[in-house]
A = this chain, B = another copy of it.
Amino acid sequence: MSMKKTLRAATAGDLPGGARGARKQLTRERLLDAALTLMSAGNSFPGLSLREVTREAGVVPTAFYRHFRDMDELGLALVEECGLTLRRLLREVRKAGVPTTDIIRHSVAIYWQYVRAHPRHFRTAASERHGGSPTMRQAIRTEVEHFVREMAQDLRMLGYRADLPSSALEMICTLVVNTMLNAASDILDLPPDQPQLAREMEASFVAQIRLIFLGAAQWRADGGGAV
């Protein structure tokens, strides 16, 4: 009966314990990986074709449907993966502490290195954040909002600007995150053998973040201020 069928499928197929589920998840990851590689090679997601992805992954086109209904579903999985990478980044920077000048420079250095370590995830995130299909755009937007909220909570726990409401902290973090993602795109477009340009860009990035926190230190909730 159909009940029996679904039950078996649940026990054998979904759980990664068996060799069967492991093999499935492996080719699933190969598909995601192929898409990621193709995207960071110049193509943008809506420009990818299903066959192209399967070709790069080394499977026959029809095998695609065993893992995703269509390309949009793969896109969402991709976004989720990028979000995970972002989350790990936050966990790594979290040790840095309150953003004073030196700590900003330090955090930026971590970020820099992190972006270079996960170029495809960051290129994808930056690429599909505003471009691409509205579906993917919305998914990334949600992911970024989560990230911003988490970052704001971190600042709060560190006692940073305890007088400000959460909305203000989130506004500040939004600015920071936008600057981060813009910078990531810039980093990844650098010719790989231009350390001079890279240093300049990093310095400019540090300056921007510094300026933001300079403004944040002066921020008044009521809209007053020196400007």
- Residues of A whose CB lies within 8 Å of any CB of B are 42-47, 99-101, 104, 126-134, 137-138, 141, 168, 171-172, 174-175, 178-179, 182, 185, 189, 204, 207-208, 210-219, 223, 225-227
Copies in the complex: 2
Q: Which chain B residue shows the least CB distance to A223?
A: B101
Partner of A212, one of B138, B185, B207, B215: B215
Q: Closest CB of chain B to A163's CB: distance in Å?
A: 15
* A212 and B209 alpha carbons, distance in the complex (Å): 10
Q: What residues of B have a CB within 8 angstroms of the CB of A212 in the complex? A: 175, 211-212, 215
Pairs A–B under 8 Å by Cβ, sample size 9: A44-B131, A44-B132, A127-B130, A127-B131, A130-B130, A168-B207, A175-B212, A210-B223, A214-B214
Q: Which chain B residue shows the least CB distance to A135?
A: B42
Q: Closest CB of chain B to A70's CB: distance in Å?
A: 14
Q: Which chain B residue shows the least CB distance to A125?
A: B130
Partner of A215, one of B101, B168, B215: B215
Q: What residues of B have a CB within 8 angstroms of the CB of A100 in the complex? A: 227
Tell me if B185 and A130 are in contact (CB < 8 A): yes
Tell me if B129 and A208 are in contact (CB < 8 A): no
**In the complex, the 6 A-B pairs of residues with the closest C-beta atoms, listed nearest first:** A215-B215, A131-B131, A46-B47, A214-B215, A127-B131, A211-B215
* A27 and B83 alpha carbons, distance in the complex (Å): 44
Tell me if A44 and B46 are in contact (CB < 8 A): yes
Tell me if A131 and B134 are in contact (CB < 8 A): no
Q: What residues of B have a CB within 8 angstroms of the CB of A99 in the complex? A: 227
Q: A212-B215, A214-B227 are in contact. Are A204 and B171 (CB under 8 A)?
A: yes
Known: A129-B185, A178-B178, A214-B226. 8 other contacts (CB 8 A): A101-B225, A126-B131, A128-B131, A141-B189, A178-B179, A211-B212, A211-B216, A213-B215
Tell me if A217 and B208 are in contact (CB < 8 A): no
Tell me if B46 and A211 are in contact (CB < 8 A): no
Q: What residues of B have a CB within 8 angstroms of the CB of A218 in the complex? A: 214-215, 217-218, 226
